[in-house]
C-alpha cells in the first residue's frame, strides 16, 4: 500500500488523511524528519504559511523537506502548502522550500471574499470540481516546466511541475477525492513509470 505523508505541524491535516484513506492509501502524520523516511509522497496542507514556516524551522524540518524534494518523490501543496513549495512568493525576498517552478501571491482573492466556493474545470478531471477557497493564494506565473491545470477568474489556481502539484484551494474539504487520486497517480510504480489512474 502506498504511504502518503501529511505535514502535521499546522493546518488542515485530518481532512487530508481521510481523503488519502478514501483513495485506498495509507496516510501518515509527519512531524519529525524521521517520519519522512518511508513515504512514497507528501502533502503540505493548507493553513497559514508563515505559522507553518516557523514550525518547520522549530522542528528542524527545512533541510529534510528539501532533501525529500531532491529525492524526486511527489509533493502536493494545497493553499498555504502551495506557498511553501513555490520558487517565488510575490513581495518576499526568499521563498520557503522554493522547489516548484511557479510564482505565487498570497491572499490574492480580496479581503471581502476571504472564503468562497466555485465549480472548477480541471484538466484531467471529468466534470466540475466544487472547490473551497479560504484566503487563497494564486499562481501569478508558471515556469516553462509547469503545466497549468486550472484557471479561475483569469487566475491560475492549479498547476503541476514535474513531481510537484499545487492548488490554491482546499480539495480535502469536500467529499470529492478525485484530486487526491490524481496526486496518487503521480507516484511512480516499481517499474519507474507513474501508475495508471
Question: Minimum distance between the CB of residue 144 and ligand GLN, rounded to whole angstroms?
Answer: 26
Q: How far is CA 174 from CA 7, 93, 153, 183, 195, in A?
A: 19, 34, 21, 16, 24
Q: How far apart are CA 59 and CA 41, in angstroms?
A: 20
**Residue 98: which region, alpha, beta or left (left: phi > 0; alpha: psi -120 to 50)?**
left
Question: Minimum distance between the CB of residue 174 and ligand GLN, rounded to whole angstroms?
Answer: 14
Query: CA angle 32-35-36, nearest 5°?
Result: 105
**Residue among 12 and 187 whose Cβ is closer to ligand GLN:** 12
Annotated binding site for L-glutamine: 47-49, 106, 134-135
Question: Minimum distance between the CB of residue 4 and ligand GLN, rounded to whole angstroms?
Answer: 19
Annotated active-site positions, please? 79, 170, 172
Question: Minimum distance between the CB of residue 1 and ligand GLN, rounded to whole angstroms?
Answer: 28
**Residue among 96 and 187 whose Cβ is closer to ligand GLN:** 96
**Residue among 40 and 78 whose Cβ is closer to ligand GLN:** 78
Contacts with ligand GLN, residue ranges (CB under 6 A): 46-49, 79-80, 83, 106-107, 134-135
Q: How far is CA 27 from CA 95, 131, 132, in A?
A: 27, 22, 22
3-state secondary structure of 21: helix
**Residue among 91 and 127 whose Cβ is closer to ligand GLN:** 91
Q: How far apart are CA 84 and CA 100, in angstroms?
A: 9
Amino acid at each position: 500500500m502506498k504511504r502518503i505523508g501529511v505535514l502535521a505541524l499546522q493546518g488542515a491535516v485530518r481532512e487530508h488523511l481521510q481523503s488519502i484513506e478514501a483513495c485506498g492509501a495509507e496516510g501518515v502524520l509527519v512531524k519529525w524528519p524521521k517520519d519522512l523516511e518511508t513515504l512514497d509522497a507528501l502533502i503540505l496542507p493548507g493553513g497559514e504559511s508563515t505559522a507553518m514556516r516557523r514550525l518547520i524551522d522549530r522542528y528542524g524540518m527545512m533541510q529534510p523537506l528539501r532533501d525529500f524534494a531532491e529525492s524526486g518523490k511527489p509533493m502536493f501543496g494545497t493553499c498555504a502548502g502551495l506557498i511553501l513549495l513555490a520558487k517565488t512568493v510575490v513581495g518576499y525576498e526568499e521563498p520557503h522550500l522554493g522547489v516548484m517552478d511557479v510564482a505565487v501571491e498570497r491572499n490574492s482573492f480580496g479581503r471581502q471574499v476571504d472564503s468562497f466556493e466555485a465549480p472548477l474545470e480541471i484538466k484531467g478531471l471529468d466534470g466540475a470540481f466544487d472547490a473551497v477557497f479560504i484566503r487563497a493564494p494564486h499562481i501569478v506565473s508558471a515556469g516553462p516546466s509547469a503545466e497549468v491545470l486550472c484557471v479561475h477568474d483569469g487566475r491560475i489556481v492549479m498547476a503541476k511541475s514535474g513531481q510537484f502539484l499545487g492548488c490554491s484551494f482546499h480539495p480535502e474539504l469536500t467529499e470529492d477525492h478525485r484530486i487526491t487520486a490524481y496526486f496518487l497517480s503521480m507516484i511512480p510504480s516499481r517499474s519507474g513509470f507513474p501508475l495508471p489512474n
